[in-house]
Structure 1
Amino acid sequence: MDAPDLDPVRRIVTRDNGLASVSVVRGDGTPHSSLVNAGVLEHPLTGRPVVGYVTYGPVKLRNLRERPATSILWRAGWEWVGVEGRSELIGPDDPADGIDDEGLRLLLRAVFTGAGGTHDDWDTYDRVMREERRVAVLVEPERVRGNA
């Protein structure tokens, strides 16, 4: 089966800094939603396009470790695109075979730029990500829906 087309996500990300609502599932089955900057990037190990964002929230990370189902929704005006899939965590407490410290540093940058981010001081960005133990959340798209 072919992977869902993420071109609508790529287009809408440029319209509002990749600002998106992400929803994960709590232990009691209710949704936990928050606002993130998210975008499309290549998975660092498979090369397949995925949706990514960066987090360090202990509640969201605990929920994702236990229940990786994720929904992300972008909107710009009346246009919207949603992606549903399973999350993979890659970070200091969620190591991935083949991703060392340098690979994580580059992955966090790729997630940031995939969401439309730019930075004038990448060394500071890298330091803050390391100090805050930031985690890349990569969502393998199973469904893409919307009107954009």
Structure 2
Amino acid sequence: MDIDEALAFARSGRESVLTTIRRDGRPQLSNVLHHVGEDGTIAISTTAGRAKVKNVAREPWTALHVNGSSFFSYAVLEGTASVTEPASSPDDEVADALVDLYRALAGEHEDWDAYRRAMVEERRVVLTITPTQAYGMADLPRASGT
């Protein structure tokens, strides 16, 4: 599976598992919602104090595991990650990016002003992954007895 195939696979859903590297070198996994942009970057909303944010600041490598429709169907996108500063104002660039991400994942919000204020209060950031390699298996029919 190449990067383009894995990105297409990741576009078919939004739920995934993000792997970052802890200070001691062990992996740290987090369930996340992701969005694949037209440019092939992957965006995730999280809060500034989370382990994944601290891990990426120290070691910018990540892997995103996306499940397919069967147990044996998956894609993994490894890449370089970066994290924005926390949203500091309801109308700053980070808040705008968080609105774009919400729209991509869930559609329209009933109160964008309240959402933008919450992004500042929660110290939300956007974690962005630029994929550098991929692997996995596309959907395959299960053999009988497995």
**TM-score, normalised by the number of residues in structure 1:** 0.77
What displacement does 1:113 show? Answer: 3.3
Q: How does 1:53-72 map to 2 (within 5 A)?
A: 53-56=44-47, 57-72=49-64
| Matching residue's letter, 1:129 | M
2:11 matched residue in structure 1: 10
Cα deviation, 1:85-144, whole Å, max 9, x if unaligned, reads: 011111228x9xxxxx53211211222333x22332222221111111101000001112
Which residues in structure 2 correspond to 1:33-112 (within 5 Å)? 33-41=29-37, 48-56=39-47, 57-78=49-70, 79-92=73-86, 101-112=91-102
**Is 1:146 the counterpart of 2:122 in the alignment?**
no
CA distance in 1, matches of 2:52, 2:60: 10
Deviation at 1:49, TM superposition (A): 2.5
Measured on the aligned residues, the alpha-carbon RMSD in Å equals: 2.4
| SS of the residue 2:120 aligns to | helix
Distance in 1 (alpha carbons) for counterparts of 2:27 and 2:76: 16
AA in 2 matched with 1:26: R
> What's the secondary structure of 1:49's corresponding residue?
coil
Percent identical pairs in the alignment equals 29
Aligned residues: 130
5+ long unaligned stretches in structure 2: 139-146
Q: Which SS does the other structure have where 2:41 is aligned?
A: strand
Aligned partners of 2:78 and 2:131 also within 8 Å: yes
Q: Which of these two proteins has the greater Rg computed from alpha carbons?
A: 2
Specify the SS of the correspondent of 2:123. Answer: coil
Q: Which moved more, 1:80-89 or 1:51-60?
A: 51-60
Alpha-carbon offset, residue 38 of structure 1: 0.7
Moved beyond 6 Å, runs of 4+: none
